[in-house]
Structures are given as structure tokens and as C-alpha cells.
């Protein structure tokens, strides 16, 4: 679903509240920065507003209401209102839901064009909030290093003892009822951890073994359900034996990968000089256009396919462009005619390029 609204963002929310309340997975805002400049694309809109704080307060309030409970808010801003903005958003989202400040490098330090300025500012900023503190960024997993996944457990006799130990269902196999072999490393095999040193106290499985399984005696294989929820649904342990005073536990590859966390090291200095070309012919929006790569990154860590993204300050339509190309739904609002026309051209360019039918509605707020 793609909708481009022409009109004021606050009016948009007031008139379409029922349609959008609690629906957006991501709200991206790139409002006028109140930098009191009027060069480039700023001649199409007013970048000086005595009532900026009041205006943004309303926008943040409406954004909060439009977000799903698992949603994110990302706002672009520069130094002029950065600190003021942080206070305003904290009020609506709660300080505890501020995820972080992401400096976005957009200028080369050598390319100093504003010779009257006191210093050469190379950064803009991105503030990211979540509606709910439990919500995490979506991130890729670094796959497990397979080298150590070389243990295979084979059950020879299924007549195990079934018990409940400390709230968990367990199956206990005596010596001779099972076989543990070392094989070629593979995704189907398990990694063995010896429960010694810190693993006895600082690791959930290690501690569970020491408190609940060690006393079962030597040479037992124990399957404990509910200890590896993110992987197999159970975890295997083997108790101590004649050769080894420690117990061991086994990990599957399913829960061995580590998430690769997003960083706040965003550098678009190589892209910005050619940004006028993004979106195709007739879509330049000098000094106000965001790199597609920035939006791609935000969308990738906060949304899944078909989620709804709302942008209340459309500009040249970077957000809807990236949403179309990455199969996210999008509603975009733009007040002024010139940028609104750029958005239309940009979407026509995408349709021409990708040669597929995309249904877009152009509406008045
Ligand atoms: C900084 S630009 C956004 C640029 C955009 N992110 C891009 O990549 O092209 C801000 C846009 O917000 C629009 N705008 C300003 N006030 C608005 C309002 N009250 N409602 C809707 N749009 C508004 C301006 O016309 C301008 O196009």
C-alpha cells in the first residue's frame, strides 16, 4: 500500500487518525531543522519557525499514537534543535525508550565551503526511539564457527527415567543407553562445553547443572527441556565420569550465532556529492535530500517486509522510494507543491525502471 498525501502533517493525523493509529512499524521524520537558512531546496519551504518546539511537540505526540507497540521512531536533525528535540521526544516516549544518538557524517572535512562559519560541521544526527523498551533492532546473525560442532549423541536404549527437576522436564539415560561420538564438524552436530571455572557460576546452563544435575552421579546423559528455547527446545548434559570431574553441556548451532549489532558509525560522505542523481531525472532537492542508503539502513533494522512506514515530511520522497524497492508499505505526507511534484516524478521514475505495476494513491490531506 503506497499513499502520497499533499498537505500539512498535523492535519493529516487529525483527519486520518482512525486509519493510522497504532499501525506504523517505523515513523521517519526529517522536519525543517529551523536552521534559518533559505538556500537550495529550502526556498520551497520555510526553515525558520518561532513556534518550532510547539509544532514538533504535536508531531511527536501524533507519531507516538501512530506507532505500533513494537514500533520505532527515527528523526533526522542537526545541531540547531538537537538538544531541544531530545527533551521534547523524551516527554512523549519516555527517556528510557531513547535508543541512541546516531551521528551521520555527510560532509568531507576538507570540503569547507562556508568560510564565514566558526567551524566546519560535518555531521547531522539521527535520534532513534522505541515505543516499548523490550523492542530490539532487527539484526543479522553472524553464523556459528562450525569447527567445534563435532559431537553427535545417539540414543541406544529409549527406556530412560523421566522426572521433573526444579520445574523442568528431564530424561535421564544411564551409561550404556547412549553413545557420544566425535564426528566431522557439521551444522547438525553439537558443541561441547566443559562446566568448569566461570561456567559453573556465571553461565545459566553451567549453574543449572551444578545445582540440579551433578548430584545424579557419574556417567548420566540428561536431556533438559526448556533450557535452550531459542534452539532445539532442550539441552543435553553429561555428568562427570572417571576421567573428568566436571560435567559438560552441549550447544546446537541454532543458538550459537551472535547478532551483529548496528553501530552508530554512519558515513555517507562519498554518497552525498552525487545524491542529486538519486531518484532519477528531475528529483534534485539540494541540501535537503537524504541518502537512500541511510533510509535503507533505518528500514532494515526496524521493519520487516510489508510493515508500514510513515514519513510526515516527504521532501523529495527518499523514504517512499526505498520502501517501494524494499517491499515495505508507506504513507508519505508533503505540504509544499514543488517537493510534492518531485515525489511524483521520483515514483514515475521507479515505475519506469522496475517495469512492474505499483499501486500508488495520490490524495489531499
Ligand atoms: C528536510 S525536507 C525532507 C527531505 C526528505 N527526507 C528527502 O530525503 O528528500 C522537509 C520537508 O518537509 C516539508 N514540510 C515542512 N513542513 C511541513 C508540514 N507541516 N507538513 C508536511 N510537510 C512539511 C517541506 O516542504 C520539506 O519538503
| CA–CA dist 276, 274 (Å, integer) | 5
Collapsing DSSP to helix, strand or coil, 109 comes out as coil
Atom of ligand 1 nearest to the CA of 316: 9
Place 148 in a pLDDT band, splitting at 50, 70 and 90: very high
What mean pLDDT do residues 298-324 have? Answer: 97
Name the closest-CA residue to atom 19, ligand 1.
Answer: 8
* Mean pLDDT for all residues in the chain: 94
Domains of the chain: 2-139+261-364 (3.40.50.150), 144-258 (no CATH)
Cα 250 to averaged position of ligand 1 atoms, centre (Å): 54
Of 268, 285, 334, 338, the residue with max ligand 1 atoms within 8 A of its CB, to mutate for a pocket test, comes to 334
Name the closest-CA residue to atom 1, ligand 1.
Answer: 288
| CA–CA dist 33, 219 (Å, integer) | 68
Cα 48 to averaged position of ligand 1 atoms, centre (Å): 13
pLDDT of residue 125: 98
**CB 279 less than 6 A from any atom of ligand 1:** no
Q: Are 94 and 135 a contacting pair, CB within 8 Å?
A: no
**CB 247 less than 6 A from any atom of ligand 1:** no
40-81: pLDDT as tens digits: 888 888 888 889 999 999 999 999 999 999 999 999 999 999
**CB 268 less than 6 A from any atom of ligand 1:** no
Name the closest-CA residue to atom 27, ligand 1.
Answer: 315
**CB 86 less than 6 A from any atom of ligand 1:** no
What mean pLDDT do residues 195-212 have? Answer: 92
**CB 336 less than 6 A from any atom of ligand 1:** yes
Scanning the structure block, which residue is given the C-alpha cell 517495469?
355
95-130 per-residue burial string, b: 16 or more CB within 10 A, e: under 16: eebbbeebebbbbeeeeeeeeeeeeeebebbbbbbb
**CB 318 less than 6 A from any atom of ligand 1:** yes
Q: What does the DSSP 8-state code read for residue 190?
A: B
Place 229 in a pLDDT band, splitting at 50, 70 and 90: low
| CA–CA dist 356, 350 (Å, integer) | 9
pLDDT of residue 147: 93
pLDDT of residue 227: 81
What mean pLDDT do residues 122-126 have? Answer: 96
| CA–CA dist 170, 161 (Å, integer) | 8
| C-alpha torsion angle, residues 321, 323, 327, 332 (rounded to 10) | -100
Atom of ligand 1 nearest to the CA of 55: 19
pLDDT of residue 327: 95
Name the closest-CA residue to atom 12, ligand 1.
Answer: 313
**CB 290 less than 6 A from any atom of ligand 1:** yes
Place 110 in a pLDDT band, splitting at 50, 70 and 90: confident
Q: Which residues have C-beta within 8 Å of that of residue 105, sequence separation ≥ 6? A: 122, 123, 266, 267, 268, 269
Burial of 195 (0-12, 13-18, 19+ CB in 10 A): buried
E strand or H helix at 266, and its extent? strand 266-267
- Determine the angle formed by the axes of helices 337-354 and 318-325, rounding to 10 degrees: 20
Q: Which residues have C-beta within 8 Å of that of residue 171, sequence separation ≥ 6? A: 160, 161, 162, 222, 223
Burial of 158 (0-12, 13-18, 19+ CB in 10 A): exposed
Of 34, 45, 364, the residue with max ligand 1 atoms within 8 A of its CB, to mutate for a pocket test, comes to 45
Amino acid at each position: 500500500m503506497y499513499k502520497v498525501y499533499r498537505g500539512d502533517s498535523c492535519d493529516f493525523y487529525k483527519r486520518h487518525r482512525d486509519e493510522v493509529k497504532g499501525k506504523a512499524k517505523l515513523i521517519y521524520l526529517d522536519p525543517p531543522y529551523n536552521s534559518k537558512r533559505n538556500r537550495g531546496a529550502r526556498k520551497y519551504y520555510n526553515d525558520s519557525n518561532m513556534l518550532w518546539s510547539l509544532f514538533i511537540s504535536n508531531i511527536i505526540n501524533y507519531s507516538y499514537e501512530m506507532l505500533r507497540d513494537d514500533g520505532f521512531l527515527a528523526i533526522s536533525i542537526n545541531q540547531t534543535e538537537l538538544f531541544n528535540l531530545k527533551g521534547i521526544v523524551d516527554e512523549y516516549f519516555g527517556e528510557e525508550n531513547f535508543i541512541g544518538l546516531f551521528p551521520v557524517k555527510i560532509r568531507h572535512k576538507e570540503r569547507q565551503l562556508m568560510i564565514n562559519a566558526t567551524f566546519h560541521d560535518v555531521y547531522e544526527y539521527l535520534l532513534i526511539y522505541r515505543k516499548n523498551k523490550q523492542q530490539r533492532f532487527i539484526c543479522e546473525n553472524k553464523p556459528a564457527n562450525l569447527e567445534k560442532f563435532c559431537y553427535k549423541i545417539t540414543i541406544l536404549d529409549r527406556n530412560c527415567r523421566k522426572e521433573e527437576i526444579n520445574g523442568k522436564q528431564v530424561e535421564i539415560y544411564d551409561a550404556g543407553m547412549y553413545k557420544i561420538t566425535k564426528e566431522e564438524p557439521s551444522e547438525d552436530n553439537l558443541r561441547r562445553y566443559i562446566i568448569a571455572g566461570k561456567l559453573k557460576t556465571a553461565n545459566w546452563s553451567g549453574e543449572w547443572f551444578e545445582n540440579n544435575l551433578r548430584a545424579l552421579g557419574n556417567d548420566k546423559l540428561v536431556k533438559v527441556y526448556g533450557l535452550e528455547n531459542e534452539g532445539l527446545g532442550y539441552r543435553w548434559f553429561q555428568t562427570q565420569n572417571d576421567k573428568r570431574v566436571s560435567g559438560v553441556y552441549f550447544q546446537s548451532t541454532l543458538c550459537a550465532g551472535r547478532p551483529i549489532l548496528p553501530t552508530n558509525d554512519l558515513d555517507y560522505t562519498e554518497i552525498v556529492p552525487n545524491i542529486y542523481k538519486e531518484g532519477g531525472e528531475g528529483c534534485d532537492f539540494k541540501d535537503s535530500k537524504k541518502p537512500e542508503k541511510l533510509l535503507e539502513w533505518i528500514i532494515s533494522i526496524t521493519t520487516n517486509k510489508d510493515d508500514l512506514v510513515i514519513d510526515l515530511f516527504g521532501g523529495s520522497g527518499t523514504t517512499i522510494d526505498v520502501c517501494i524497492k524494499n517491499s515495505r508499505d508507506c504513507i508519505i505526507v508533503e505540504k509544499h507543491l514543488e517537493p510534492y511534484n518531485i515525489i511524483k516524478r521520483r515514483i514515475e521514475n521507479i515505475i519506469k525502471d522496475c517495469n512492474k505495476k505499483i499501486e500508488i494513491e495520490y490524495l489531499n490531506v
